[in-house]
Amino acid sequence: MPPGLDLLDADGIPEVAATAVLNVMLNGRYQEGETVLVHGGTGGIGAFAIQLVKALGGTVFATAGRAGKCARVRSWGADAAINYREEEFDQRVQDLGGADIILDTVAGSFLQRNLNALKPGGRRITIGKQGGASDTLDFSMLMKKKLTLFGSLLRNRTTEEKARIMEETTRIVRPLLEDGKIQTTTDRVFALSEVVATHAYFDSGQHIGKVLLDCRS
């Protein structure tokens, strides 16, 4: 554990860090200076991914659903915060020059707009399906823009695969944590006896950052 971190805050790091490194760095083939669009910017993964890309010399656009959440993603380093309830995120991203990589937690309803937002040669990495499991794909745009669509999960990988991902995550992330270039983003900590209330809070969408369960008591 990097020095100076609270144990609970540190516990919130491994899964989000591994998810961000796997999908932005490895699957997304991120190169310094590229632009990454992060959906769900105030979730645990989103908050970490924003800081990771900024620490590695990239530009970050992030979506969120409220003005307060947009302010928060900007505080973590996002170059543009897009309220997807009030504006078409794909048009805004196009106006800003487009995205090389999209870290997509929404899928279904965002499919076509994600394709619109990508630069030629762009990569969309899907890690969630909050907007549904299916939609209509415009193959002509896929071909003309030479886009890559990639789907990814951590849970169904072999132990050996997970070990390799964690080794790469440690190599990239630990120095950034030690140097203070990435901050932990714990929103609230619940006792294990409050697990029902924890899920209710998470599902309400009020959280900004990680929601943790303290299993020690």
Would residue 190 count as lying in a domain? Answer: no
Would residue 166 count as lying in a domain? Answer: no
Tens-digit pLDDT profile for residues 76-122: 999 999 999 999 999 999 999 999 999 999 888 899 999 999 999 99
Would residue 44 count as lying in a domain? Answer: yes
Would residue 51 count as lying in a domain? Answer: yes
Answer yes or no: is pLDDT of 217 > 80.
no
Task: Report how far residue 23's alpha carbon sits from residue 215's, in angstroms, rounded to the nearest whole number.
Answer: 29
Q: Which residue has the tokens 């302010």?
A: 71
Would residue 184 count as lying in a domain? Answer: no
Domain count, the chain: 1
Task: Quickly state the pLDDT bin for 136 (edges 50, 70, 90).
Answer: confident
Would residue 185 count as lying in a domain? Answer: no
Task: Quickly state the pLDDT bin for 192 (edges 50, 70, 90).
Answer: very high
Would residue 165 count as lying in a domain? Answer: no
Task: Quickly state the pLDDT bin for 216 (edges 50, 70, 90).
Answer: confident
Beta bridge partners of 211: 188
Would residue 92 count as lying in a domain? Answer: yes
Q: Which residue has the tokens 């003309």?
A: 144
CATH number for 70: 3.40.50.720
Whether the Cβ atoms of residue 210 and residue 185 lie closer than 8 Å to each other: yes
Task: Report how far residue 83's alpha carbon sits from residue 85's, in angstroms, rounded to the nearest whole number.
Answer: 5
The range of the structural domain enclosing residue 140 comes to 7-151
For residue 208, give the DSSP letter.
-
Task: Quickly state the pLDDT bin for 181 (edges 50, 70, 90).
Answer: very high
Task: Quickly state the pLDDT bin for 134 (edges 50, 70, 90).
Answer: confident
Task: Quickly state the pLDDT bin for 75 (edges 50, 70, 90).
Answer: very high
pLDDT at residue number 129: 87
Task: Report how far residue 69's alpha carbon sits from residue 62's, in angstroms, rounded to the nearest whole number.
Answer: 10
CA distances from 213 to 189, 196, 207 (A): 6, 11, 14
Task: Report how far residue 141's alpha carbon sits from residue 159's, in angstroms, rounded to the nearest whole number.
Answer: 37
